[in-house]
Structure 1
Amino acid sequence: MRVLVTGGAGFIGSEYVRELLHGSLPVGAPAAVTVLDKLTYSGNLANLAPVKDDPRLRFVQADICDAAAVDEVVPDHDVIVHFAAESHVDRSIAGAAPFVTTNVLGTQTLLDAALRHGTGRFVHVSTDEVYGSIEDGSWTEEWPLAPNSPYSASKAGSDLLALAYHRTHGMDVVVTRCSNNYGHYQYPEKVIPLFVTNLLDGGTVPLYGDGGNIRDWLHVRDHCRGIALVQDKGRPGEVYNIGGGTELTNKELTGLLLEACGADWDRVTPVTDRKGHDRRYSLDITKISQELGYVPSVDLETGLARTVQWYRDNRSWWEQLKG
């Protein structure tokens, strides 16, 4: 099996590559893994350092929107696992163009190349944010898409494109939608690494609005295991939700991070709420659990403790990113 991983130098993509090469995922051992990454601000070759000497690994620096570069890389791969995306909501509010370009047009460029070269399976990695916000209950995969930010709208567009290539061309496409990820190697603009690194440096942390926004938290290793199950046995043309099973308000999460870092609430600075801020996310993971045997294995208490300790032990990784 020869696997092409787009965005494989980013947070989730690099975890997938490391675990794939280490043989830790419920999918066959790869004969070769190619990472295609533009190395934007959140792409980091240091994320691949633990596997850089593996002879099966090849790295190609290129933009997924570059049709010529993509057309050169895609041939001879059996599977494409597509992580590459612009993913920060605040940045999408400040300027939506890079999100539409990368997430929609980039995905279309990859799909065209996969179709042209007969790639066996295309795994499109997406987000629960495409569903919008939900007051009660949890989203199933059949829930109508109602994205509220430019980021989530661009991901919804890419989801629909991927599924359209299955329906139109018969391509072997599967889509995953995950809840909020956390773990090691996460770029320190996202809430958990931002709060942890700020607190470890003696700084303050910003809490949006009343702190009542609710998210389901998923450890990156559980996410990658779910993706591998879908890659291996997911039904073509289907969507699979991947969640962690632990919902917290942002204020509750902040309290846990303060405690883990030995800090008090005087280190929290209330800030004006984000525009169009979704109130609650909640995924129903019945489908992937019943069909593929997925069960989250990293509980939040353990996962957060390990994550905080990793940032304590790896200052050299994140200090240069924060300048």
Structure 2
Amino acid sequence: MRILLTGGSGFIGTNLTSHLFQKHPDYTIINFSPYRTGSRATNVARFETNPNYIYVDGIIENEQALEQAFGLGVDVVVNLAGQTHIDRSLQTPGSLICANVIGTQKVLDMSRKYSVNRVIQISSAEVYGPVHKGSEVAETFRLAPVNPYGASKVATELITQSYHQTFGMNTIITRSSNNYGPYQTPEKLMPLVITNALLNNPIPLYGDGGQMRDWLHITDHCSALDAIIHNGVPGSVYNIGGNQAATTKDIVQSVLQCLDRPWSLVQSVPDRPGNFDRYPLSFDKLTTDTGWKPTYLLEEGIRETALWYQSNADWWAEQREVTTIR
């Protein structure tokens, strides 16, 4: 099988490439990403000696670059490309919306042109917006995003579904909860708290830290995508959850305990506009269709993740910035 990963040098793409090569060493992985120096190049350097790994330089808005990637022969596309930072979407929504929406349309058009067997569009639980306390969110829950990032993801989902309905394309949409694990940029909650703690720097905390999230280890996310690639039902939408609910404050406390750092590092900052509590996703549909279930307990995942960042300071030091957590 030949799998094209758009955005394959990023957090999910790097881990998914590693997972697929371990589980399916005869597969060909095509990484379509813009060339960058530094940590993103380091992410995929270990794959360069693998004869089944191909790198193509480009962004998904560039049709000529996409033609080069699709022309290599593609069976499955996993569209990971796009912008994902919620706080940045509040500052410059136009560039994020353009990248996510127009880029997805171009990937779908190219997939149709080259008769790709399956397209998996990576979305987010942000599309659901606020959820009543105690609710478990199924795929049929109403979509009500509260920020430009979530709205852009709703748009990509509707476009993807229209290609399935009108052109008969084999498309699948995934909505995952909060991811964490190795190779995640320090702008995100878990690596930001870990790296600040390692440096004994202040750890900013939105409000009282009571925002609830469901936490999904990247290893479990990759195994879910593997299951969907092989056994997902065409036209489906799948939630991918970790079944590990915790507040932001819980995460910070666990990291500090793991790294033996004091709570005095934590500084409360004003909450971001439109922030809300979000509760666990129901992934029963995915389990029924593919047999997938998450395996990571949050305590174990936090410990492994903290130790990875502690052992890979050179990877995150050059790109790290102190920012608020999300």
TM-score between the two structures when normalised by the length of structure 2: 0.95
* Corresponding residue for residue 103 of structure 1: 100
Q: Which residue of 1 aligns with 2:227?
A: 229
CA–CA distance in structure 1, aligned partners of residues 37 and 299 of structure 2: 30
Distance 1:133 1:100, change over 3 A: same
Which among 32, 41, 44 is matched to residue 45 of structure 1?
41
Q: Partner of 1:153 in structure 2?
A: 151
Q: Does 2:109 align with 1:112? A: yes
Partner of 1:129: 126
- Tell me the distance in 2 between the aligned counterparts of 1:123 and 1:265: 41
* Partner Cα distance (1:141, 1:112) in 2: 26
1:265 shift after superposition: 1.4
Shift of 1:309: 0.4
Residues 271-307 of structure 1, C-alpha deviations (whole Å, 9 max, x = no match): 0001100222321111111221111111111111110
Within-5 A mapping of 1:28-67: 28-39=24-35, 44-67=40-63
Aligned to 2:165: 167
Contact 1:186 1:193 in 2 (8 A): yes
What CA distance in whole angstroms lies between the structure 2 residues aligned with 1:144 and 1:199? 38
Determine helix, strand or coil for the equivalent of 1:322.
Answer: coil
Whether the 8 Å CA contact 1:213–1:250 is kept in 2: the answer is yes
2:44 partner amino acid: L
Q: Distance in 1 between matches of 2:161 and 2:39?
A: 27
Identify unmatched segments of 5+ residues in structure 2.
322-326
Q: Aligned in 2, Cα 1:41/1:143: closer, same or farther, shift over 3 Å?
A: farther
* Structure 1 equivalent of residue 312 of structure 2: 314
Deviations along 1:217-250, whole A, 9 cap, x unmatched? 0000100110111111111100011000011111
One-letter amino acid of the structure 2 residue matched with residue 57 of structure 1 = Y
The verdict on how the C-alpha distance between 1:284 and 1:103 changes in structure 2, with shifts beyond 3 A counting, is same
Q: Is the 8 Å Cα contact of residues 233 and 289 (structure 2) preserved in structure 1?
A: no
Matched, 1:258 2:256: yes
Confirm or deny: 8 A CA contact 1:7 1:43 kept in the other structure: no
The Cα offsets for residues 138-190 of structure 1, whole Å up to 9 and x where unpaired, read as 11111121111111111111111111110110000011110000000100100
Letter matched to residue 75 of structure 2: D
Asked whether the equivalents of residues 255 and 303 of structure 2 are also in contact (C-alpha less than 8 Å), the reply is: no
In percent, how many aligned pairs have the same letter?
Answer: 37
* 1:139 and 1:283 in contact (8 A); partners too: yes
In structure 2, give the amino acid aligned to 1:158. Answer: T
Corresponding residue of 1:74: 70
Cα 1:42–1:243, aligned 2, differ >3 Å: closer, same or farther? Answer: farther
Question: What corresponds to 1:3 in structure 2?
Answer: 3
Which runs of at least 4 in structure 1 moved beyond 6 Å after TM superposition? 40-43
* CA displacement 1:33-92 (0-9 Å, x = unmatched): 110012579970211133221111011110100112112211310110111110010010
Distance 1:271 1:223, change over 3 A: same
Q: Which runs of 5+ in 1 are unaligned?
A: none
AA aligned to 1:58 is I
Q: What's the secondary structure of 1:140's corresponding residue?
A: coil
1:96 Cα offset (Å)? 0.6
Counterparts of 1:183-194 in structure 2 under 5 Å? 183-194=181-192
Question: Relative to 1, partners in 2 of residues 1:5 and 1:126: Cα closer, same or farther, differing over 3 Å?
Answer: same
- Provide the C-alpha distance between the structure 1 equivalents of 2:246 and 2:37, rounded to a whole number of angstroms: 29
Report the counterpart of residue 176 of structure 1 in structure 2.
Answer: 174
Letter in 2 for 1:6: T
